Structure 1
């Protein structure tokens, strides 16, 4: 159970006792938090003692009497406001007036309780303060996590683009200086390698844009009836050029159209990522099998390859952001580490799941299960809370 600490700063003993009794065993529930939220109560009679407690162990909420002996409640509030502490202050006073409330609010008070107040009024005010505080902290944590993700992506992107850019620089300098003489085949090969590197870098940037659009919730989802088999055929055609270069066969297995309610671009992202990876991490003269089917209100997408595979430990990390399996067999393969994490996030939008079965040197099978009826386009989905 999460616990919030309340500091009561009140010079009247009877009022302190009444507050303690009202909040004893008081708990609340918020839809944003699992389980109950409880409260611990600490009490002092003067502002000076409150300052000592705040300096040593800041509370979450302060119930602060407006009129205190020595330093006034308003003076204490002014000090707290100037320090920008993560504390919500509720002013309590028998001298309630519009002027008093305005002054306290300007100094940073969250709410105002006029004496005398009932236990129900106190609990309602504490509930509002707790909810505001928790949502504010969750928003701050989310903002920090997003900044961290952006920083991680920039670091990963800079690292992953370094090698292909160096290769491009080398190839283009050879072309510029015509260092290979008149052998046009050598130049053709270099141009092909440059185009491959550019395609890989474009894919990395596309992965980031896909993930950003999905996680931001700012893009309007356009839910229509789509044919997953037809989208799979298109994704196969996109991957076919690279597959043919390495003599990799791609087969699609589907008994007729497979229809579902979905945002077409999201299903395209899933299939493009899975099929592209199945080719990219495959062996020469390998094969890829794409199975599309539907039953019991679900759409099943399965992509199998005869590639390098991976261990169970590697597979367990595969759907996290920026995770790439790096070893001798994959070190020359470009990637952002975002494609599969994006696939997982999209699957969650459809109340679905994604899983992988793999064996080193034998291949992998990725399976995505989606509900045929998508969540409404206007539904906002907080993906970070589901991961």
Structure 2
């Protein structure tokens, strides 16, 4: 026998016990004996036996009862029945109850060795099977754990992930992709065409599935008003393509930044370069003495002053925008009398309004003082009044109405100017956006004023409403919660 075993011999005949013990000891086995069922039971409970030879005819506890108990105590122990011819039927019955085999009395040493050898081989096979099963369960558990970890990692990713096998079937996806593509139900093992309805994306994946070389396909795709950079990469093993991995990265903010950068460069090119060229031209004429008339020289210098004011306003707008977009804005909250701020603002723009013969009408109803940053409030209404005058017609009017409306402080600034096209109203708060038509083409501006206005209103948890009609003017209504303004909350 290649493996050693631990054998218990249970028989009430001393000669049988000793004969079996000597035969099995010569085989290198560890052998113990018991003369009745109760003694055997005690030894089995104390020691680990691989095989038990049981005589059916035992005192105190019969062989059948011991066999029955053994199957419940440890079914891995191999029981072999020792029986005489008169109890042959009992031996067969015992086998049906779970005994591995039987050896009839009288038996030869060869028969005993052969039966014990087969029984121990069975025991060792059972042990190996258990070991393999444990390893398999351990491996399955590890695989399950790895799958769980992988799923957790993928689901925690902000990027959408979709994995398709070589047959175009979906085998893995995360919660982000479910949200991006509006997926519903279980999408596993479904074809790409069943899951995705966007032909551009389907063509991109199919192209990668057909591609023989290892490449990564990238394309920017618009989905539900968002911009996504879609990367499609192949998955291979030893040169054999297994499928593709599709990742979706939201680049909406990056796209917006790129558009803003382009708009900023265009704005700088026009709003800075043009005034500088004009200033340079006027100064060149004056310095070279080309113009001698003092009135003409004065007129040129006044024009230079206007252009420098435009550049200063542009610089102020850019600095204010940078301040508004700063992650940490320090606001000094002080009690503010809104009537004083409005009157100061109107006084500041009096000359500009007079140049275009614009009449400013003020209606300020009794409202409580507010707790806010004075620079914020001044900048908010200065930008609105500046636009109301700048885009107004000669001889027009501007109406300013301050009142308490519900739980809000409402400031309404209405002009009789050129108005805003309907399709542009939703865009006027975007940075660097300007309405460009024949009526606004010559009006200087940066496209930042209303963006700054909106950022201030949001900082105070307010809202702004716009109504406008081309040729009839525009109305901007700012609503600021009085509860917050009166308590003096700190704003982010």
Are 2:308 and 1:198 aligned? yes
Describe how 1:125-164 pairs up with structure 2 within 5 A: 149=260, 152-164=263-275
Of 399, 412, 415, which aligns to 1:305?
A: 415
Q: Which residue of 2 aligns with 1:181?
A: 292
**8 Å contact kept, 1:222–1:377:** no
Describe how 1:203-214 pairs up with structure 2 within 5 A: 203-214=313-324
Q: Which residue of 2 aligns with 1:245?
A: 355
Q: How far did residue 365 of structure 1 move?
A: 0.9
Describe how 1:64-75 pairs up with structure 2 within 5 A: none
Determine helix, strand or coil for the equivalent of 1:216: coil
Alpha-carbon separation, structure 2, partners of 1:325 and 1:145: 19
Q: How far did residue 317 of structure 1 move?
A: 1.2
Q: Which residue of 1 aligns with 2:444?
A: 334
Q: Which residue of 2 aligns with 1:279?
A: 389
**TM-score, scaled relative to structure 1:** 0.62
Describe how 1:368-383 pairs up with structure 2 within 5 A: 368-372=478-482, 373-374=484-485, 379-380=491-492
Alpha-carbon separation, structure 1, partners of 2:316 and 2:150: 53
Alpha-carbon separation, structure 2, partners of 1:57 and 1:286: 58
Q: Deviations over 1:87-113 (max 9, x none)?
A: 9xxxxxxxxxxxxxxxxxxxxxxxxxx
**8 Å contact kept, 1:25–1:38:** no
Q: How far did residue 245 of structure 1 move?
A: 1.4
**8 Å contact kept, 1:220–1:377:** no
Relative to structure 1, the CA distance from residue 179 to residue 262 in structure 2 (aligned partners, 3 Å threshold; closer, same or farther) is same
Q: Which residue of 2 aligns with 1:102?
A: none
Alpha-carbon separation, structure 1, partners of 2:439 and 2:451: 21
Relative to structure 1, the CA distance from residue 221 to residue 28 in structure 2 (aligned partners, 3 Å threshold; closer, same or farther) is farther
Of 17, 36, 48, which aligns to 2:144?
A: 17
Q: Deviations over 1:76-95 (max 9, x none)?
A: xxxxxxxxxxx9xxxxxxxx
**8 Å contact kept, 1:322–1:337:** yes
Q: How far did residue 246 of structure 1 move?
A: 1.6
Are 2:352 and 1:217 aligned? no
Q: How far did residue 150 of structure 1 move?
A: 5.2
- RMSD of equivalent CA atoms: 4.0
* Greater relative contact order (Cα < 8 A, sep 6+): 1
Determine helix, strand or coil for the equivalent of 2:361: strand
**8 Å contact kept, 1:310–1:358:** yes
Alpha-carbon separation, structure 1, partners of 2:266 and 2:400: 34
Q: Which residue of 1 aligns with 2:370?
A: 260
Alpha-carbon separation, structure 2, partners of 1:236 and 1:19: 69
Relative to structure 1, the CA distance from residue 191 to residue 209 in structure 2 (aligned partners, 3 Å threshold; closer, same or farther) is same
Unaligned segments of structure 2, at least 5 residues: 1-137, 158-174, 179-186, 189-213, 219-230, 232-246
Determine helix, strand or coil for the equivalent of 2:318: helix
Q: How far did residue 22 of structure 1 move?
A: 7.9
Q: How far did residue 210 of structure 1 move?
A: 0.9
Question: Quick check: which has more Rg, 1 or 2?
Answer: 2
Alpha-carbon separation, structure 2, partners of 1:272 and 1:245: 18
Relative to structure 1, the CA distance from residue 311 to residue 16 in structure 2 (aligned partners, 3 Å threshold; closer, same or farther) is same
Alpha-carbon separation, structure 2, partners of 1:210 and 1:249: 29
**8 Å contact kept, 1:246–1:285:** yes
**8 Å contact kept, 1:26–1:38:** no
Alpha-carbon separation, structure 1, partners of 2:388 and 2:292: 38
Of 156, 167, 170, which aligns to 2:281?
A: 170
Q: How far did residue 272 of structure 1 move?
A: 0.5
Q: Which residue of 2 aligns with 1:295?
A: 405
Q: How far did residue 295 of structure 1 move?
A: 2.9
Alpha-carbon separation, structure 2, partners of 1:314 and 1:194: 32
Of 466, 472, 488, which aligns to 1:362?
A: 472
Q: Deviations over 1:26-82 (max 9, x none)?
A: 99899xxxxx758999xxxxxxxxxxxx98699x9xxxxxxxxxxxxxxxxxxxxxx
Alpha-carbon separation, structure 2, partners of 1:272 and 1:285: 21
Q: How far did residue 229 of structure 1 move?
A: 2.0
Alpha-carbon separation, structure 2, partners of 1:200 and 1:377: 35
Alpha-carbon separation, structure 1, partners of 2:373 and 2:450: 18
Describe how 1:87-106 pairs up with structure 2 within 5 A: none
**8 Å contact kept, 1:278–1:307:** yes
Q: How far did residue 270 of structure 1 move?
A: 1.0
Determine helix, strand or coil for the equivalent of 1:206: helix
